[in-house]
């Protein structure tokens, strides 16, 4: 039992039900952990998390005027704070070190751990990149910042640290709002969590509908959401991925996927390691009338370039893929659909229905090579084709939309016409 998660669960029950038996059980489990597992070597995240739990237990004991196990608390706090001070941790570890040090100073020896507080505070204040590409980690960090902000407000010192925490709380909150959906849903990649009706994001009313971050673009329009996320897959460190999410009338239509790339080569994700050339990035985001145009590029080994244009216009989504390789390869375009929807397919199109109501229509409207439709399971559809230099265009309409769409390919650009009224031009230039 290297982790003290059971102690944390008991403390949560104690605070909810105010029953002393849970506090007594937490103390018993903590002491058993001390006798059996301490000081066995643990990874830094476990030490950091355990320090926070132990401090929470200590504070509750002192609030109840329980002066027991002080020698144990002092020994563990001194050891764990020293480890976090000497090791190269991250933002979460620095917050826990400051928390543990202030608790120790307050309960045991005043100013004893001031040096730890100063070092960890400086590390925090010099950190620019708080937000990570992992939504779950970012949300957990937001929760930790909230808790720490409430804690540090009780102390008259640390004005710079307090200002920093408040600033980053607002920054992370707005970032997460890009993944907040009607009906109080917060999307954390493949997982979505249901929040209470009075959650932090419900009361947030930003004056913008387009959220642009280094790896995320999200468009909010009433009951419609479009999110483009480009992330480095942490479960499989050898490939980058693009995730497209469409949400309409309280239902996800396109789902994010973490196992397969939006574009696969020869049936596989495009793998790379440090010895291979791989450059994957969003190179531009342009606001269009009623939408956005996102351009990204992947320079892959071996000598393959994928230039992607994603254009979202109200309830129309256009996917442009310009692929250039020195080798003939099989390319797959993979989209992941809500399995609750009913699919009707043809060789070049997929239409999705929910209770007989049309929700989404996906059409292959242009390809310079023959593309073949595949349906692997109830929610993954793939179009495949072979070649070296390919231009592929998909059109997705959301809801029961029957607009007339025309694509007029030219040598260096794409021209889109909607209902013979709206006209858009997209450049094919390589951005390299």
pTM for the model stands at 0.82
Summarize pLDDT for 317-356 with one digit per residue, the tens.
Answer: 999 999 888 889 888 888 888 888 888 888 888 888 888 8
What is the C-alpha separation between 232 and 189, in angstroms, rounded?
A: 13
| Whether residues 293 and 248 fall in one domain | yes
Q: Is 214 exposed, middle or buried (0-12, 13-18, 19+ CB in 10 A)?
A: exposed
pLDDT value at residue 7:
96
Is 432 part of any domain?
Answer: no
| Whether residues 217 and 203 fall in one domain | no
Q: Nearest to residue 94, comparing CAs of 131, 73, 125?
A: 125
Most trustworthy range by pLDDT among 216-220, 280-284, 405-409? 216-220
Q: Span 204-211, mean pLDDT? A: 85
Q: Are 280 and 298 in contact (CB under 8 A)?
A: yes
| Whether residues 299 and 382 fall in one domain | yes
Of the listed ranges 165-169, 188-192, 355-359, 384-388, the one predicted with least confidence = 188-192
Query: Residue 97 sits in which domain range?
Result: 5-127
pLDDT value at residue 109:
96
Is 151 part of any domain?
Answer: yes
Q: CA of 146: how far to CAs of 95, 102, 166, in Å?
A: 11, 17, 9
57: alpha, beta or left? (left if phi > 0; alpha if psi -120 to 50): alpha
pLDDT value at residue 140:
94
Q: Span 93-114, mean pLDDT? A: 97
Residue 343's domain is classified under what CATH number?
2.70.98.70
DSSP type of residue 3: S
Give the pLDDT band (50/70/90) at residue 431: very low
What is the C-alpha separation between 241 and 264, in angstroms, rounded?
A: 10
| Whether residues 187 and 328 fall in one domain | no
Is 309 part of any domain?
Answer: yes
How many whole angstroms from its chain centre is CA 58?
A: 33
What is the C-alpha separation between 134 and 175, in angstroms, rounded?
A: 12
| Whether residues 119 and 166 fall in one domain | no
Tokens of 204: 């947030």
| Whether residues 196 and 219 fall in one domain | no
What is the C-alpha separation between 113 and 109, in angstroms, rounded?
A: 8
Rg (CA), the chain: 26
Could you say which of 144, 174, 207 is where a domain stops? 207
What is the C-alpha separation between 271 and 9, in angstroms, rounded?
A: 41
Summarize pLDDT for 164-175 with one digit per residue, the tens.
Answer: 999 999 999 999
| Whether residues 235 and 147 fall in one domain | no
Q: State yes or no: pLDDT of 18 exceeds 80.
A: yes
pLDDT value at residue 428:
67
Is 22 part of any domain?
Answer: yes
Determine the Cα angle at 97 with ends 95 and 99, to 5°.
70
């Amino acid at each position: 039992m290297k982790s003290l998660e059971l102690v944390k669960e008991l403390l949560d029950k104690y605070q909810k039900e105010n029953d002393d038996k849970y506090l007594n059980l937490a103390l018993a489990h903590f002491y058993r952990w001390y006798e059996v597992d301490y000081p066995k070597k643990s990874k830094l995240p476990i030490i950091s998390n355990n320090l926070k739990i132990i401090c929470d237990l200590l504070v509750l004991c002192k609030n109840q005027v329980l002066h027991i196990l002080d020698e144990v608390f002092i020994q563990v706090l001194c050891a764990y704070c020293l480890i976090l001070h000497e090791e190269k941790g991250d933002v979460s570890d620095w917050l826990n070190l400051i928390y543990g040090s202030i608790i120790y100073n307050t309960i045991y020896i005043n100013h004893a751990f001031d040096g730890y507080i100063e070092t960890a505070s400086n590390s925090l204040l010099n950190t620019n990149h708080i937000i990570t590409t992992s939504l779950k980690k970012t949300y957990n960090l937001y929760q930790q910042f909230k808790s720490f902000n409430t804690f540090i407000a009780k102390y008259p010192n640390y004005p710079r640290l307090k200002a920093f925490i408040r600033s980053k709380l607002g920054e992370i909150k707005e970032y997460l709002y890009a993944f907040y959906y009607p009906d109080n849903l917060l999307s954390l990649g493949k997982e979505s969590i249901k929040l209470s009706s009075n959650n932090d994001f419900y009361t947030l009313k930003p004056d913008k509908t387009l959220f642009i971050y280094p790896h995320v673009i999200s468009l909010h329009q009433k009951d419609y959401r479009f999110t483009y996320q480009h992330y480095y897959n942490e479960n499989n460190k050898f490939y980058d991925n693009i995730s497209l999410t469409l949400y309409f009338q309280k239902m996800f239509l396109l789902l994010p996927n973490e196992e397969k790339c939006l574009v696969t080569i020869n049936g596989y994700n495009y793998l790379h390691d440090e010895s291979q050339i791989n450059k994957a990035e969003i190179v531009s985001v342009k606001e269009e009338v009623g939408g956005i145009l996102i351009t990204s590029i992947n320079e892959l080994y071996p000598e393959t370039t994928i230039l992607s244009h994603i254009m979202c216009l109200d309830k129309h989504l256009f996917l442009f893929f310009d692929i250039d390789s020195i080798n003939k390869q099989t390319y797959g375009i993979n989209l992941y659909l809500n399995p609750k929807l009913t699919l009707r397919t043809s060789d070049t199109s997929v239409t999705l229905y929910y209770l007989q109501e049309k929700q989404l229509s996906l059409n292959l409207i242009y390809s310079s090579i023959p593309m073949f439709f595949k349906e692997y399971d109830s929610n993954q559809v793939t179009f495949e084709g072979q070649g070296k230099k390919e231009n592929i265009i998909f059109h997705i309409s959301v809801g029961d939309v029957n607009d007339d769409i025309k694509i007029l390919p030219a040598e260096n650009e794409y021209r889109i016409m909607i209902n013979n009224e709206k006209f858009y031009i997209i450049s094919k230039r390589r951005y390299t």
